[in-house]
Structure 1
Amino acid sequence: MAFDDDDNPTVATPVNGANAAATEDADEDAPDYKLFLSMFDKAGVSGKAIRKGEKDFESHGTRAQDNLLEQSRNVMDNVLGYTRIHREDAWVRGWCFPDWWSDTEHSGERDGLWLQDRVVMVEQERGSWQKDIGRAVPGKVERLGAGRLWLLPEEALYLVERGTVDLWWPERQLEELLSSDGTPKTDMGPDNYDVGLPLSLEAAYSLLIGQEGERGKITLPQFQVFSHLKRAGFYVLRAPPYEAPAPASETLWQWLFSFFSSGAQSRQKPSGPLVQPGLYRAYRPIYDQLAILPRHKPLPTPPTIHPPQEPYRVFFHVWKSGGAPFSKKNPPPPDFRIAVVDAGDTFVPTLEEIEALLESTPHDPPNEAWKGPGRMYQRLKHGHRNVLVAIVDRGLVNFM
C-alpha cells in the first residue's frame, strides 16, 4: 500500500529541529505584539503581517514568567489603544441621515437602488471602492441629496471597519451641509466640529446593526457574510425582493390532453399486494404501481408556486472579480445567490423551505453538451437551480 504524501519520507522535505517545531506550532502560536508594536514608527505599517510568537498558557509561578506576562499585557494594551488616522489626501467623510429617504414612495428595490435603506451620504467621492459599493441617487428624484453617493448600512459599516470612511453624525440639517447645486460646502474640514461629531466603530455598529426587516439597518449575521465576501475579493450586492413568476398559459391541446392524464389513476389500497393481479403486456403499468413518489421533472415554471420563507431566501448576489467589467447599475447575472441564516436561532430547513428557496432562483439547466451517460456527474453537480446558504455560527461563516 502506497504511503500518503504526508507520511512518505521521500516526499517530505527534511528540516532541522528548530524549523520543524516552528512549522508544527505555526497555527497555534499567539501573535507577538512586541513585533507588531515596533512597526508603528515605520512606514507602511498596514501592509506588514503580524509575526507569531511563543505562547504561555500554563503558569509555573516564577518571577520571570510573571514579568513576561505583564509586559505582554502592557504591549497588547498599547496595540489595542493605537489610534488610526485618516490621511488628508484620502480622507472621506460620510454623513449619517437614517430618515432622509424614509418617506420615499418608490425606493427602487427591483432596480437594486434600495433608496429607503440608504442612510449614509458620502461627502468626498474618491477611491476605487465605488466600483460595487454605493449608488448615486438618480437626478430625476426631485429632492436635496439626489445625485450624491449614498450607502447601504452594510456598505457603510464595512468601509468604516477598514478605515476608508470617517462616519459623522450631523449637527445641522442636510440643507446646511450642501450647496445650492448639491455639492458639499468647502468650509467644513475634519476639525470643524460645529457641523457634526465623528462616530466611533462601536457607535457605527449601534446605528447600523438591527433586526430583520428594520429599515436602514442590517442584521449582524448578514453583515458578517457581506464583510467576509468583500474581504475575499467578490462583488456583492443585495438581491432584489422575490417576485412570484407568472403562471404559464395553458394551450388548448394541453387542456384537452389533461382529461386523459395518468394522474387520474386510483390510489393504492392500504393493504394487499403492491401490484394488482391481472394481465400486463408492458412493464410501464407495473412500475407505475411500484412508484411511491412520481419522478421529478424540473420545469422552468413549477406547477405550484411556493414563496420563500424567512430566513431561507436569497439575500445577496455575488460575482467573481477579475472577469468582464462590472457595473453595479446594470450587473450581469450573478455567479452565486446566497441566503443567510444564523445557526443560533435557526433550525434545519424543512423540505418545503428548501423547495421554496430553490424555486425562487431562475431555471438553469445543465449544458446541452453534457448529455449522455459519460457526463452524468457533471449534470448532477450543476443541477437545475443553484443557491448557497451562508450559515453564521458566532461569527464563523460556512457555506453549503
Structure 2
Amino acid sequence: MDDSLETPNFVPPKPDPQADDDQQGEEDEEENMPDWTKLARPGASRTVIPKRGEKEFEPKAGGGSGLQQHVLEKSRNAMFDALRGVRATSTKSLSYGIWYPDISRVHITVSRGTHMSSMGHSVSRPAGSPKRLEMLPEEAIYLVERGSLFCWKSTDLPISGELDLENVGGVPMSVQQTYSELLGKEDVTAERLEVYSYLRRLGYVVTRTKPPTDSYPQAAPFIMKLHPSSLFSSFKGWMSRVYNAFTNLGFNWWRPLQLSRWLRSHKLYKSVFPKLRFIPTGHKLPLNQAPRKPSEPSPYTFFYNVYKPNTSFKRTSPPTPDYQMVVINARTTPMPSLQELTALFEVSPELPPPLPRRRNPPPGGFPPEPAPVEKTLLQRLLPIFFKPPPPLGLPPRRPHPFMALKAGKKMVVIAVVDAGSIGFYRLGEGALEEWPMY
C-alpha cells in the first residue's frame, strides 16, 4: 500500500494550475488507450475487446509507490500476453482453397461464411465441366489475412493420407507465403490491395472494372444520356450561327458589347451576359495539348467498381456500380494531365443535378384541390391547344446553380496511397457554359 496514504495526519497537496495545463496534453493522448487487463488470456475461449481505461497515477520525480508499480506491471503483462496470443477463428466461417500459380487463381473447395456471396466468380475448368468458385489474388489475400480462408498450393508430389479438409491435395501456405506468391499477379499491386482491403472492411463490395477473363462477370453498363438532334433543333442552331456570323462582323475585342440605342432588349441581363461569352468554351472543344505517347500507358484508368453496403448485389450479374475508382501510388505517379482526366470523364456517366431543398408548406397549409372538371369535346379532340391547369401548392423549384456547379456533371474518384496512407479525392467536371448567369 501507499505509505503516505496510511499516515493519519496526511493532507493531500493543493493542485497546481500550471502543472495541470502542462499535463492536459499528456492526458488527452493517453485517455484513448485500451485497458489490457480487461482482455481475456490467450487460452480463453472468448475474447473481450479491451475498453478505455483511466490513468492509474501521475508520474512523479521520485517514482511511484508499490501499489502503483504493481498496477502498471499488471497492465504491461496483460498487454504482452495479448500480443503473444494466437489468433483463432471459428470453423463455421472458415473456407478452404487451393492456389494454382499457372492460372493465378484460388479454387475454393469448401465455401463458408457470408463473404462468398459478394466475392469470387464461377468458372468452368476444363470447358464443359461443372463450374467451380475461383477468386482473384486480392480477394484470396484479404480472406487469408483476416483468418477466413485456409489456402494450399497445388503440387504434383504425392500426398500421404486421405483427401479431407486437413489435406486437400497441396502444400499449406502461411500468410507470409500467400502475400509473397499472390501479390503482383493479375495486376495486383500493394497499393491496390491496400485499397481493396480497406473498402472491404468498411462494408463496400469491390469488383474489377475490366474483366480479367471472359468468365468474370461484367457490371451493368452506365446509361449514357444522349441528346438527339431533331430537325427543328438543327435548323434553329444553324440559324443562330448564321445570325451570329452577320452580327459579329465588326466585333471589337476591347468593346465586345454592341448595345443598340433604340432597342431596350439589348440592355437586359438576358442579352448582355450571352454577348460577354465571346470566347469558345465547353468540354466538347478539342484539346490543344499533344496526347500521351502510345508507348506510355496512363496510370489513370479505372481499376475497381465500388458498390455501397446497402446496394443489392448479385455475384453472377453485378448491377451498375456506384463509383469507379482509380488507384495510384503517390510516390511514383504525378498529377493527372488534362488529357488523362478527359479520358476518365468520357467514360463516366452524367450525374443528375442535386435536388433543391424541401420547402415547408404555408402556415395555413395547401388549399384543397378542386373537383375535377369534365373536359369538353373540343378539349378531347385537340388536347395540344388546351394546357392543363397548374397544380396547387408550391411550384417546383429549380436546382440551385451554385450547388450544381459545385457537384459537377461527372465525377471521378482517385485513391492515392502514400506509404500506407490512403486518401480519396473526388474530381468533378463542371458545366459553366450551360448555366445562364442571369
TM-score, normalization by structure 1: 0.64
Equivalent position of 1:137 in the other structure: 123
Structure 1 SS opposite 2:400: helix
Structure 2 unmatched ranges of 5 or more? 1-19, 212-218, 358-395, 426-438
| Deviation, structure 1 residue 356 | 2.2
| Deviation, structure 1 residue 249 | 9.7
- CA distance 1:346–1:52, change in 2 (3 Å): farther
Identical-pair percentage: 27
Q: Does 1:352 align with 2:339?
A: yes
Q: Does 1:379 align with 2:379?
A: no
Structure 2 SS opposite 1:349: coil
The separation in 2 between residues aligned to 1:59 and 1:348, in whole angstroms, is: 52
Structure 2 SS opposite 1:354: helix
Paired residues for 1:155-170 under 5 Å = 155-170=139-154
Equivalent position of 1:14 in the other structure: none
Paired residues for 1:152-191 under 5 Å = 152-172=136-156, 187-190=163-166
- CA distance 1:95–1:159, change in 2 (3 Å): same
Equivalent position of 2:132 in the other structure: 148
Question: Residues 311 and 341 of structure 1 are in contact (CA less than 8 Å); yes or no, is this contact kept in structure 2?
Answer: yes
Paired residues for 1:55-134 under 5 Å = 78-100=81-103, 119-134=105-120
Question: Residues 274 and 290 of structure 1 are in contact (CA less than 8 Å); yes or no, is this contact kept in structure 2?
Answer: no
Question: Residues 361 and 385 of structure 1 are in contact (CA less than 8 Å); yes or no, is this contact kept in structure 2?
Answer: yes
Equivalent position of 1:25 in the other structure: 28
| Deviation, structure 1 residue 81 | 3.8
From 250, 254, 259, the equivalent of 1:273 is 254
| Deviation, structure 1 residue 380 | 3.5
Question: Residues 354 and 403 of structure 2 are in contact (CA less than 8 Å); yes or no, is this contact kept in structure 1?
Answer: no
| Deviation, structure 1 residue 377 | 4.5
Equivalent position of 2:324 in the other structure: 337
The amino acid across from 2:340 in the alignment is: E
| Deviation, structure 1 residue 329 | 1.8
Question: Residues 95 and 149 of structure 2 are in contact (CA less than 8 Å); yes or no, is this contact kept in structure 1?
Answer: yes
Q: Does 1:225 align with 2:195?
A: yes
Question: Residues 183 and 190 of structure 2 are in contact (CA less than 8 Å); yes or no, is this contact kept in structure 1?
Answer: yes
Question: Residues 137 and 149 of structure 1 are in contact (CA less than 8 Å); yes or no, is this contact kept in structure 2?
Answer: yes
The separation in 1 between residues aligned to 2:182 and 2:405, in whole angstroms, is: 41
The separation in 1 between residues aligned to 2:94 and 2:258, in whole angstroms, is: 84
Equivalent position of 1:390 in the other structure: 415
Paired residues for 1:299-314 under 5 Å = 310-314=298-302
Question: Once the two structures are superposed, what CA deviation does each residue of 1:192-248 show, in whole Å capped at 9, x if it has no partner?
Answer: 49x4332222222212222xxxx43511111111111111111221213799x9x99
- CA distance 1:384–1:286, change in 2 (3 Å): closer
| Deviation, structure 1 residue 124 | 0.3
Question: Residues 306 and 323 of structure 2 are in contact (CA less than 8 Å); yes or no, is this contact kept in structure 1?
Answer: yes
Question: Residues 34 and 75 of structure 1 are in contact (CA less than 8 Å); yes or no, is this contact kept in structure 2?
Answer: yes
Equivalent position of 1:202 in the other structure: 176
| Deviation, structure 1 residue 396 | 2.2
The separation in 2 between residues aligned to 1:22 and 1:208, in whole angstroms, is: 44
| Deviation, structure 1 residue 156 | 0.6
The amino acid across from 1:95 in the alignment is: I
Question: Residues 92 and 113 of structure 2 are in contact (CA less than 8 Å); yes or no, is this contact kept in structure 1?
Answer: no
Structure 1 SS opposite 2:206: strand
Structure 1 unmatched ranges of 5 or more? 1-16, 101-117, 178-184
Question: Residues 316 and 338 of structure 1 are in contact (CA less than 8 Å); yes or no, is this contact kept in structure 2?
Answer: yes
- CA distance 1:320–1:286, change in 2 (3 Å): closer
Question: Residues 239 and 315 of structure 1 are in contact (CA less than 8 Å); yes or no, is this contact kept in structure 2?
Answer: yes
| Deviation, structure 1 residue 131 | 1.4
| Deviation, structure 1 residue 128 | 1.1
The separation in 2 between residues aligned to 1:350 and 1:313, in whole angstroms, is: 13
Question: Residues 94 and 167 of structure 1 are in contact (CA less than 8 Å); yes or no, is this contact kept in structure 2?
Answer: yes
- CA distance 1:342–1:189, change in 2 (3 Å): same
The separation in 2 between residues aligned to 1:52 and 1:207, in whole angstroms, is: 41
From 326, 338, 342, the equivalent of 2:313 is 326
Q: Which has the larger radius of gyration?
A: 2
Structure 1 SS opposite 2:341: helix
- Aligned-residue CA RMSD (Å): 5.1
Equivalent position of 1:110 in the other structure: none
| Deviation, structure 1 residue 149 | 0.9
